[in-house]
Chains A and B, each alone.
Chain A
């Protein structure tokens, strides 16, 4: 004889009285101090509290390298101002390469949590490199004479210094 198996949902269920307490909270979800202490301990015991991402050596060195490239380029452009080699059309590749390097730095910064300020700082650097490109483009065959290159470099140096300053402060864990 084949036993009759009832589907699970058709079996008779014990009748539970609905009380005020059981409506307010499902079973097993009562406040458990031990659980809360465990969660807090797990949170706190993971190490020091972090409000800012840790120091990133690649970002520090990458920014310093970009600064070196910009300084060398602008020095060269100043000496070549007015010559065909100093014209924007002869130097478009520099801007493409530099933009790519900065995009990589920004990607790296954005990949880390709690790093919004560094991402914004790298964004400011990217903005000023684009402004430098527009400046060069606007002067056409005249290139980048000192009167344009000098204030532009001054601003880009502030951009780079701000990134490095913040990274160094992160490394020390205290203020500069």
Chain B
């Protein structure tokens, strides 16, 4: 039975999105787009395997490559999440600069 690429991409994205939506909502388009590409590639591998165009060990290697690609998307999203935390922290320090420095009587922040 052929893989439904739309359903596979949606399943992969939704699983990742439950974590990402809270921490890094800005990666939605990026993650969605990359999971679509990965799902299409997995379907291509499946089709080639069913037609006997590739050996089982080659199919396994190609699937390993898609797993690595998936890990990369998630790692990059985590990194962007950290950047968001960094930006929020610096924005908070900047916003409080005047109040903190005035209260202390010298430039702490």
Is B104 an interface residue, CB under 8 A from the partner?
yes
Chain A, residue nearest B78 (CB): A117
Q: A128-B65, A159-B69 are in contact. Are A52 and B83 (CB under 8 A)?
A: yes
Q: Mark A96-137, 1 if CB is under 8 A from B, else 0.
A: 000000000000000000000110110011011001101100
Chain A, residue nearest B74 (CB): A162
User: Chain B binding site: helix, strand, loop or mixed by DSSP?
Assistant: helix
* Distance in angstroms between the alpha carbons of A169 and B79 in the assembled complex: 9
Q: Mark B55-92, 1 if CB is under 8 A from A, else 0.
A: 10110011011101101110110111011111101100
Q: Which of B45, B61, B65, B86 lies in contact with A52, CB distance below 8 A?
A: B86
Is B107 an interface residue, CB under 8 A from the partner?
yes
Is A156 an interface residue, CB under 8 A from the partner?
yes
* Distance in angstroms between the alpha carbons of A139 and B48 in the assembled complex: 14
Chain B, residue nearest A117 (CB): B79
Q: Which of A120, A125, A138 lies in contact with B57, CB distance below 8 A?
A: A138
Is B4 an interface residue, CB under 8 A from the partner?
no
**11 additional A-B residue pairs with CB within 8 Å, beyond A159-B69, A166-B75:** A37-B108, A45-B107, A124-B69, A124-B72, A138-B55, A151-B66, A158-B72, A163-B72, A173-B87, A176-B30, A176-B80
A-B contact pairs, 9 of them (CB 8 A): A51-B86, A52-B79, A117-B75, A121-B75, A124-B72, A127-B64, A128-B65, A154-B69, A174-B84
